[in-house]
Amino acid sequence: MKRAVHPIAVLAMLAFLAVAPAAAAAEAVPPSTAPTPAPAPVPVPTPAAAAGGHIKLVLQKVGGKPLFAIVGQRVVVRGIVTPYVSGQTVKVSFYREGRKVHVKRVSVLAMGNGVGQFHIGFTSADAGLLQARAAHYATAEQVAFSARAQSVQFVNTNLGLGAKGKSVRLLQSELNALHYAVPLTGVLDEGTGRALVAYRKMTGLERSAYTGRRVFELLERGAGGFRVHYPHDGRHIEGDLTRQVLVEIEPGGRVRSIYTMSSGKPSTPTVIGRFQVYNKEPGTNSHGMVESSYFIRGYAIHGYAEVPTYAASHGCLRVPIPDAAAIYNWVSYGMPVDVYNENGGGSTHVRGNAGP
- 281 and 263 co-located in one domain: yes
For the stretch 116-164, pLDDT in tens is 999 999 999 999 999 999 999 999 999 999 999 999 999 999 999 999 9
Give the residue from 164, 186, 220 where a domain finishes.
220
On the question of pLDDT at 331 being above 50, the answer is: yes
For residues 199-217, give the mean pLDDT.
97
- 270 and 299 co-located in one domain: yes
What gap in Å lies between CA 148 and CA 128, rounded to an integer? 17
Coil, strand, or helix at residue 281? strand
Contacts of 284 (CB under 8 A, 6+ apart): 290
- 204 and 255 co-located in one domain: no
Tell me if the pTM is above 0.85: no
227, 235 contact by CB (below 8 A):
no
302, 319 contact by CB (below 8 A):
yes
* Cα separation values, 234 from 228, 276, 338, Å: 11, 12, 11
Quickly state the pLDDT bin for 37 (edges 50, 70, 90). Answer: low
**Which of these, 71, 64, 67, 63, lies nearest to 157 by C-alpha position?**
71
227 in any annotated domain: no
The pLDDT assigned to 343 comes to: 87
- 246 and 321 co-located in one domain: yes
What gap in Å lies between CA 342 and CA 238, rounded to an integer? 13
- The CATH number of the domain holding residue 99 is 2.60.40.10
123 in any annotated domain: yes
On the question of pLDDT at 20 being above 80, the answer is: no
Domain range for 70 is 54-154
The pLDDT assigned to 345 comes to: 72
For residues 163-184, give the mean pLDDT.
97
For the stretch 56-78, pLDDT in tens is 999 999 999 899 999 999 999 99
213 in any annotated domain: yes
- 111 and 182 co-located in one domain: no
328, 294 contact by CB (below 8 A):
no
Q: How many domains does the chain have?
A: 3
59, 217 contact by CB (below 8 A):
no
